[in-house]
Amino acid sequence: MSMLRGDLEMGATGTVTHVDGNRVYAFGHPFLNLGPASFAMTRARVFTVLPSLDTSMKIATLGPVIGTMTQDRSTAVGGLLGTGPRELEVNITLTSGSAPERKLKFFVIHDQLLTPLFAYVSILNSLIAYERQTGTLTVQASGRVSFGGGDEVEIDDMFSGEAAVPLAAAGITAPVGLAAGNEFRAALAERLDVNLRVTEEPEAATIERAWLDTTRPRPGATHTLSVQLRHYRGATETVTMPIEMPAQTAGPLTLLISDAATLNSLEQRDLKPAKPASWSALLAQMNTVRRNNRLYVRLIATTPGAVVGGDTLPALPASVRTVLDEDKTVASAPVTKTVVGAWERRVTRALRGSRELTITLRPGSAASNPVSR
């Protein structure tokens, strides 16, 4: 019974108890006691037996697929000879500065609990097998996860540091796990294609300083934001991006320049983003997940709002908030801060850190000298 096969194999072998036509009963005991299952049934070759008065062991290997194991019960496992089950196909292209390009292929069991786990195992062991396990690494990942019917999640991220390998494996397979456990529809990934570029040095940068080209930004005007990044070993780099100020917002605002982790923390703590209310919304959320190789800029106003029916409604008038608070038939949650502007830029390194600028928008204000922080 195969859980993961291809360039890496993980599964279980056991005794065939009875064959009735194309029906196969085996083991005489449960495997994982999953109940209804969808394991690939394979031939098995036993190389030798290690006898023991305590627990004897067979040294065996998996062979070609000959059917599908459909039941994993307390008394036996059972299945049908013939075609194999649907599986997640994982294709990995591994590129390293110290070795030639390698291509790996795996087939992972289709199961709500086990598919995310063994997809993670396939990525993790591919990196461990060909790259060092200790010390600093940088893993750049690109590719896509396909769920069939044109539903896809793009992968474009970078992981750097001593924990780069497990973080990369977890980040790449996160959409597989989120989809498998979603409450809207059955959605097990059908294909995972990923390109991994590995270097044995930290390709990371810290957000050190940020400034606008003016101390008096104007509503509706476009200003230039400059951000200084400090690389590992001290080299610096300055990136710029245009920031268009909202035309209908005035008063003090906070301009947040941050990495993915800081923005995630802020959203969970203060902004309270709405949870997806459908499969299409979950798919969109997975495609907009925060990535380590992005510079995120958010213009934030302290204006109350609410999350209603899975949608975030920022900057609500007091009369609307009163109606929502009094209507007990509608689930709502308060929001204390509102994002009035959002920008991001892809960079070539994994970013860390954050900076904040406090700005005040006044209609008709004139530009002046830049300020940094």
pLDDT at 310: 54
Strand 137-146 with 77-81, pairing:
unpaired
- Give residue-wise pLDDT tens across range 18-62: 999 999 999 999 999 999 999 999 999 999 999 999 988 889 999
Residue type, 97: G
Contacts 24+ apart (CB under 8 A), 42-51: 42/1, 42/2, 42/5, 42/11, 42/66, 44/13, 46/13
Confirm if 64 and 23 have CB atoms less than 8 A apart. Answer: no
Instruction: Return mean pLDDT, the chain.
Output: 87
pTM score, whole prediction: 0.84
Instruction: State percent of the chain over pLDDT 70.
Output: 87
Full DSSP string of 191-231: EEEEEEEEESS--EEEEEEEEES-SS--TT-EEEEEEEEEE
Q: How confident is the model at residue 100 (pLDDT cuts 50, 70, 90)?
A: confident
Chain mean position to CA 241: 26
Q: Write phi, then psi, for 63 (nearest 5 degrees).
A: -115, -155
